[in-house]
Structure 1
């Protein structure tokens, strides 16, 4: 099957975007893995599929590089808004998002965070603000669901953490029945956080929009920060704002790299 695609990225978190609002594009885990493969495919962190929606402008489906389908992706949401243009309501498995294209990027209303243990979800009940758990040198994280699940560790020195090794151990821990995104954050100032993210199903990424949102929310809940604040990832900064009880607002860039066509037979 021949299909058109767009290669895009948000701060280096890169996507293959397929617009299937007119012509259906069936995707399974094997095809998603093949397209995402950086040696034999197009290459991306996530495959983004746009489909029709009943109560929104479009539906966004998100497939990680390992073929798993996930609920939300903040960087992809900005890219979709920039691609479509204007104001757009986007239906996702994690909820309805509202975004608007703006100045080479987009502003996104990411909705309200969840903190209840079974809404993360965790395997059993515990305090999600300061969780009584740890993995080697990483301990007492916060847990936040911002459409997908995150744990956030605040550390004095981000460079001292071997996230490439600890990330997959935490992601697959039985405490997290749907796996987990792992964030390690260093407070640089009350309005500035430095962040690294291990994304479930994708590994270390240049940037993670939902991770930046979850980390900002956790920092504000703990009294470490107040919004709006800058979250600097390896790929660059995002601006996040949240007031307790309110909705998370994210602002950042989105880049269209190129457009192309391919055949699904090449990826199987």
Structure 2
């Protein structure tokens, strides 16, 4: 069952070919983790969605409050009999039909879908995990590239490339040849006591887990946090590298070309993240 504009519908509805999210990528989405009814980092997700809608010049409905959307998410989970399970929520917003490139309206509709997942709180996955650069296409650094829009063709093609080359993931470069993110999350490098991640100005996604970790790292006095451009050459010199998103939390990278990484900081940050979730 899905939730379409507040109505729970049996099965999946077939979208019109005029749907602007489908026809023009004129849509946004949030991927949200819910653990036994607890929506993780909901405030961050909500305010990112509202900011993204404003940037996309979408009309935000008067009833689109944090409480309203939270209730709709819970209603969808209950309708799918998943209240006692951990779930992956996809909240999609698209501009309503009408027009070509120029829309006839800025009003929106939303869809909430839910899928059961096995992992509750975050745990360290220390299995072999290899990445490399994806250099066929590049991210154009701009405010739009920081949004979670329906236009993810670069990530799709990059994922196919990774599969064809037996890689677990790929690192995306921007047009200045700086590493900005992975195919499915933000990237952090560790060298000594310095933790580095790409700045939003380089075009990386404004990830919710990225935000959580920035705040967590700032509270650890023995580490220095740096938001600055990452050269591919820096990866070879790093002690540790990990990828972050709200579903897996922190994914340590074990290998990049001939470089093998440790995962000590990943363990520490995961522990702090889980404590924060339980206390929150």
Query: How does the TM-score come out when normalised to structure 1?
Result: 0.35
Asked which structure has the greater RCO (Cα within 8 Å, sep 6+), the reply is: 1
Larger radius of gyration: 2
Normalized per residue, the structure richer in helix is 2
Q: TM-score, normalised by structure 2?
A: 0.33
